[in-house]
Structure 1
Amino acid sequence: MHTSIHTTPLALAALALVMSAAANAQTAPATPNDEADVKALIQQLELLKANYAQEVRRLRELDMQVQAMQARLTGKTAPIAGAAPSEPLPSTAAAPPTGDGYASSAAEAQQAKQASRRSVDDVKQQTATLFTRRFTIENSLSYSRYDRKQLTLNGFLALDAIFLGNIAIENVESDSLTYNVAARWGLTPRLALNLDVPYLARKTVFQKGGAGGSAAAIAQEETTGNGIGDVSLSGNYKLFSEHGRWPETVLTVGATAPTGRAPYGVDWKVLERDDDDFIRFAVPEQQPTGNGVWQANVGLSAVKTADPAILFANLGYIHSFERSFDDLDANPDTVNPGDVKLGGSIYFGAGVAFAFNERTSLSISFSDKLSARASTRFQGGQWVKIVGSDANAATLNLGITYALNQNTTLVSLLGIGLTPDAPDFTLAFKVPYML
């Protein structure tokens, strides 16, 4: 059996260095500078080995590109008929033996480094801490499901066992579909700008038991709404680069404009009234697509590589500014102008990502958002806190990232709500294209 050994100029140079060192060691007498010369030759040899491993990797990539182009030209997966089969490329296992297997280990280390770097870039892109890309545009589509039931008792207990009065069961089921276009500009190696433009489509089903005073009667109504959401603009600044035990730390400052349809002043449709004209069941005619107020946020993000894992965390605060509206009353028969001030929100989260190979990685994270009570003030009145407007939305997130090519990545996320204020689940798909 005839075995061919492929060599390159780098490999020949490495062999020449080894042979020259051996010849000098056998013929030349020992001098005090021999040890320094040997160290210098070893350093040159190590450098040539690393370059050789990199050259082998490039040759493999070129061979794969040639095979792909041949298959595209013929419309088949097989090589062109009559053409000579492409010569197999040298593998790291076929590298010239060095006695310690260093060439093979160097190639594997180089591949692992490339895979780790791509995985880190994908994690940083999702946490808005990536500065090595000049421009990134991301298209994402997410679906959220929210289901909340509430039991309302209007009466009293007789003999501590019998309830006398009306029993009403309320159920709200909401489905939201959001398409978001995000653009990221890397202005400098430490500064980047982000622009997010969402478009929402919502459907909410309201169910109310106890209609007409009967617990068996159930009324149901469905409302929808779609339109652009609240547009946000933010900037990221790298405070510290990753060094030793310290993670890479990024400061984020941003603002959100109330470009979506506000939930205040929306016309309501009355479905049921009591004999005294008291509204028992009313629903909004269309669903809002935004918060209706200006918001500003500031936060910190940290990313730390701990091979083979990538650790990340964030912490921030969202402040909502006061805004006036022509009508705050949900009653369609009255108009009461006033002011709205949403409560501040603190958000935080942490997670870990693992790279399976040079294309695929898995991430697990936890995120939470704590919101204080909102306040309203009718014209000429005092501020009044809205009972039940505070929230604690905690979510467990599972994500899989797959690199489609050098510039494009497919990100799939599943969020599982852990508290009643969070959506039951959220499913999202993102496709960032990085230049």
Structure 2
Amino acid sequence: MDNHKGCTTIAMVVIANCLSLAIAGEVRAQSAGSDTRLDTLQQQVNAQSARLDQLRDQLAAQERNVSELQRALDLERLASTRARGTGDGAGQGVAASDPAASATAMLAAAVAAQAAPGTQDDATGEGVAVDRAVAQGDRPPPQPVGRAPEQDLRPPEVAQIFDQPGVLTPSGTFVLEPSLQFGYSSSNRVALVGYTIIPAILIGLIDVRQVKTSTGTAALTGRMGIGNRFELEAKVPYVYSSSDTVSREIFTGTAVENVFTSSGKGLGDIEATARMQLNRGGPDKAFYVGWLRYKSRTGRDPFEVVTDCVTRCVANATGTGLPLELPTGSGFSSLQPGVTWLFPSDPVVFFGSLSYLHNFKRDGVSRTVLTGAPPEFPQTATEPIGEVEAGDIWGFNFGMGLALNEKASISIGYDASFIGKTQQNGADAPGAVRITLGTLLLGASYRFSDRHTLNVALGVGVTRDTPDMTLTARVPISL
């Protein structure tokens, strides 16, 4: 009996141990399975996070494409009003008849193609069919979808008639622009030195002169587009001018007219300009471009040339006399801020600008005067002038451009400047007056290729102080 009980006890202990081992194994199996499921869930979470990051990147890329396509649409609408044409460059597959609709269709197709998943394989198959159709000549090649078309790198096609262009140089493009300008002006000057005893009877001297001046300026201008809305420009001019003064000898009874000729040539005043587009314009919405121009005084100024006071000065009664050599610069550094606007309205483009030029004053100015010695032994004297500040200039202009075809365009405009009085030692200089300059301008532009354009502008003075005629030719070259 006791043996039976002992066997039973041993059997129960063995069964208990087996149950414990079985339960422990089950627990370990369940724990291992739980860890496996947790690892699987973690992997799924990581995969979903990676997918979300990928979708986020795709969304950002789509937003950038939409922004680029919208900008391309605005530029293409503007180009259509100026009749740029399709050109020969790559990426210019948009129909010239309706570029706005084509760009809109490209925008919608790009968004739909990138937003719909699982369409790349279908698009690939369709692309093979399209390639076959193109190879057989049944249909034109398709345009790229999902990215903005390459922008035209040509300078503005509107015929430039003012110094400041209205549209900036494309980003990353360098434009080299050689130009040549010829100007001619003539005026009559009458100086009365004496007094009148009764009206129409003068006791004294009457000095009558005819002054005819011709000026030629060759300039090399470089412009560089930085980003989508910024541009830098530098201009280096070379000036040649000639002046003929026709008058009769004073204090003599001769009826023979003499000619006093002087000329000058050399480097002019170097200029630097920065421009920035202030807004995003479009059809029936103006573009605004702000700019800041600095003009140096690298040219030979009027105070450096020798003034002839032997044959043309009468006790300073007729002014400062005539220079033996003409200056090539203004003699003053200046800073000129301004804003240019351009308003496309099919089929023309209206444009204009408003500016203010400030001349910096100079201290300790003097001039050199020829004092009557013979030409072989000239003698000069220095006359102090003191502080001189040239008058500031307010200017505005406006015009309109019309495209004749995809290569030729014409422009017409008016330019006006209001020049203040020159100050000397804090007061108005002797004989200083306000001057109004007005010029009527006609221009034409012809595009030979995507890189070369010829621009010609003719200016006609409408006030007495304005040059009678200015003729300017520019050849912008995109590099």
Q: Same fold (TM over 0.5)?
A: yes
Within the candidate set 121, 127, 140, 2:165 is matched to 127
Within the candidate set 336, 346, 354, 2:402 is matched to 354
Structure 1 residues 314 and 164, CA gap change in structure 2 (3 angstroms): same
Match of 1:160, as an amino acid? P
Residues 1:369 and 2:408 aligned together: no
**Aligned equivalents of 1:276, 1:328: Cα separation in 2:** 16
Report matched runs for 1:133-152 at 5 Å: 134-152=173-191
Structure 1 residues 252 and 330, CA gap change in structure 2 (3 angstroms): farther
Within the candidate set 328, 331, 338, 1:289 is matched to 328
Matched with 1:18 is none
Structure 1 residues 245 and 208, CA gap change in structure 2 (3 angstroms): same
**Aligned equivalents of 2:87, 2:222: Cα separation in 1:** 35
Per-residue CA distance 1:125-157 (angstroms, 9 max, x = gap): 961532325110100001000111012223344
Residues 1:169 and 2:213 aligned together: no
**Aligned equivalents of 1:276, 1:236: Cα separation in 2:** 49
Asked if 2 retains the 8 angstrom alpha-carbon contact of 1:402 and 1:411, the reply is yes
Match of 1:131, as an amino acid? T
Q: Which has the larger radius of gyration?
A: 2
Structure 1 residues 183 and 148, CA gap change in structure 2 (3 angstroms): same
Matched with 1:245 is 284
**Aligned equivalents of 2:318, 2:467: Cα separation in 1:** 29
Residues 1:313 and 2:352 aligned together: yes
- Could you tell me how far 1:210 is from its partner in structure 2? 5.0
Matched with 2:302 is 263
Structure 1 residues 388 and 326, CA gap change in structure 2 (3 angstroms): closer
Give secondary structure in 2 for the equivalent of 1:227: strand
**Aligned equivalents of 2:393, 2:87: Cα separation in 1:** 53
Per-residue CA distance 1:233-287 (angstroms, 9 max, x = gap): 1100100121453310000012111100011142123443899898999421211
Structure 1 residues 427 and 236, CA gap change in structure 2 (3 angstroms): same
Asked if 2 retains the 8 angstrom alpha-carbon contact of 1:129 and 1:236, the reply is no
Per-residue CA distance 1:290-338 (angstroms, 9 max, x = gap): 1112110100001111111111110000011111345147575343152
Per-residue CA distance 1:342-401 (angstroms, 9 max, x = gap): 111011100011111111111001001111011122xxxx54434235321110000110
Structure 1 residues 423 and 275, CA gap change in structure 2 (3 angstroms): closer
**Aligned equivalents of 1:275, 1:58: Cα separation in 2:** 67
Asked if 2 retains the 8 angstrom alpha-carbon contact of 1:264 and 1:325, the reply is no
Match of 2:467, as an amino acid? P
- Could you tell me how far 1:434 is from its partner in structure 2? 1.8
Match of 1:222, as an amino acid? T
Structure 1 residues 214 and 167, CA gap change in structure 2 (3 angstroms): farther
Give secondary structure in 1 for the equivalent of 2:251: helix
Per-residue CA distance 1:209-230 (angstroms, 9 max, x = gap): 3522437353321111101111
Match of 2:472, as an amino acid? A
Structure 1 residues without counterparts, runs of 5 or longer: 1-56, 63-93, 97-102, 104-115
Give secondary structure in 2 for the equivalent of 1:272: coil
Matched with 2:391 is 343
**Aligned equivalents of 2:266, 2:241: Cα separation in 1:** 9
Report matched runs for 1:68-87 at 5 Å: none
- Could you tell me how far 1:415 is from its partner in structure 2? 0.4
Residues 1:416 and 2:460 aligned together: yes
**Aligned equivalents of 2:464, 2:407: Cα separation in 1:** 36
Within the candidate set 195, 200, 209, 2:239 is matched to 200
TM-score relative to the length of structure 1 = 0.67
Match of 1:416, as an amino acid? V
Per-residue CA distance 1:27-60 (angstroms, 9 max, x = gap): xxxxxxxxxxxxxxxxxxxxxxxxxxxxxx9999
Matched with 1:333 is 381
Which one has a larger percent strand, Structure 1 or Structure 2?
1
Structure 2 residues without counterparts, runs of 5 or longer: 1-84, 91-136, 141-151, 371-379
Which range is displaced more, 121-130 or 342-351? Answer: 121-130
Identity of matched residues, %: 25
**Aligned equivalents of 2:198, 2:465: Cα separation in 1:** 35
Asked if 1 retains the 8 angstrom alpha-carbon contact of 2:313 and 2:321, the reply is no
Give secondary structure in 2 for the equivalent of 1:151: strand
Give secondary structure in 1 for the equivalent of 2:397: strand
**Aligned equivalents of 1:321, 1:281: Cα separation in 2:** 22
Number of residue pairs aligned between Structure 1 and Structure 2: 327
The Cα RMSD (Å) is 3.4
Which of 1 and 2 has higher RCO (CA within 8 Å, sep 6+)?
2
